[in-house]
Amino acid sequence: MSLNIDSISIAYGTHLVIKGLSLTIPKGAVTAIIGPNGCGKSTLLRGIAGLLPLQRGRIVLDENPVAQMRPSALARRLALLPQAPLAPEGIRVQELVTRGRTPWLRPFRPPAAADRDAVERAMHAAGVAEMRHRRVSDLSGGQRQRVWIAMAFAQETEWLLLDEPTTWLDLPHQLEVLHLIRRQSSEASRSMVMTLHDISLAARFADHVIALRDGDLVAQGPAHQVITPEVLKRSFGLKAQVIPDPLHGTPLVLPR
């Protein structure tokens, strides 16, 4: 039971971004995808979520090919939080989080009791319950990101893909968001897949790390196996030393 990516190719127009990539993403874990800018991290996530057509290959979610699933059926099992979602003008926190229930709503019916419970759970998990009546546009960057994550939690999918959930946040807020994702993964036993820029943070928070370069796989596995000087050289072209983090024991990257 996992997410199987079987020799997929994805192109924007004629430009091939992902080239025959094969991967297995483990279920119930936190997976981080790392790689230099433009290596196809976001494209991979969007391809998995069915937002981009596959030129070749297939993606299989627990034995069901994603391409054959209806959008609403897929949306009950897998959610994607894009890098720059748009908040409608004037929307308030609770209303936005409730939008996450869309695939579970019955046509022409307001949210049911189960939906309201899911929204409550998600808002408490993400620590945004106290600001439920505030306008999303009035919140700080860190608060706003937690609201979007609450919306994705409320969708209650087994799989949650997060595209750069920490961009534009300062370090304390990056840690806050990553702790939140980690906690949700273990408490609600959800599989999280996120793209991250910070390699040391990926090493600290992810069970499984995937390193890409030019739309191709460089390495995958537990952080201590993937985050090594050789992989960093091949993936990022970065000369770096890797030492065990004195506090957490996870790999810590020291660029030269």
Partner 1 sequence: MGRLLIVAAVAAVFLLDLAVGRIWLSLDDMWQVARHGPGAEHWILVYELRLPRIATAVGAGAAFGLAGGICQSLFRNPLAAPEMLGVTAGASLGAVGLVLAGFQGAVVGLGAGCGAILAVVLLLILAGGAPAVTRLILTGVGISLTASALTGLLLSRADDALAGDAMLWLTGSLNGRHWPQARLIWGALLPLLLLSVAGARWLDRLELGDDLAQSLGVPVRMARMVLILLAAALIAAAVSVTGPVGFVGLMAGPIARSLSRHSGPDLIGAALVGALIMVLADLMVTLTAFRVLLPVGIFTGLLGAPWLIWLLWRDTSERRVM
Asked if 87 interacts with partner 1 (CB under 8 A), we say yes
- Which range touches partner 1 (CB under 8 A), out of 28-36, 78-86, 175-183, 242-250? 78-86
d(CA 116, CA 238): 48
133-162: which residues touch partner 1 (CB under 8 A)?
155
Out of 22, 64, 68, 72, the only residue in the binding site for partner 1 (CB under 8 A) is 72
d(CA 211, CA 32): 9
CA-based end-to-end distance of the chain: 40
102-131: which residues touch partner 1 (CB under 8 A)?
102-103, 105, 107-108
- Which range touches partner 1 (CB under 8 A), out of 18-26, 59-67, 100-108, 219-227? 100-108
* Cβ distance to partner 1 smaller for residue 88 or 255: 88
Q: Nearest approach, Cβ of 91 to partner 1 (angstroms)? A: 4
Out of 58, 92, 197, 234, the only residue in the binding site for partner 1 (CB under 8 A) is 92
* Cβ distance to partner 1 smaller for residue 6 or 95: 95
Asked if 90 interacts with partner 1 (CB under 8 A), we say yes
Out of 46, 146, 204, 213, the only residue in the binding site for partner 1 (CB under 8 A) is 46
Q: Nearest approach, Cβ of 38 to partner 1 (angstroms)? A: 18
* Cβ distance to partner 1 smaller for residue 184 or 250: 184
* 155: nearest Cα among 128, 188, 187: 188
- Which range touches partner 1 (CB under 8 A), out of 1-9, 23-31, 46-54, 167-175? 46-54
d(CA 242, CA 256): 10
Asked if 51 interacts with partner 1 (CB under 8 A), we say yes
Q: Which residues bind partner 1 (CB under 8 A)?
A: 46, 49-51, 71-76, 78-82, 84-92, 95, 99-100, 102-103, 105, 107-108, 155
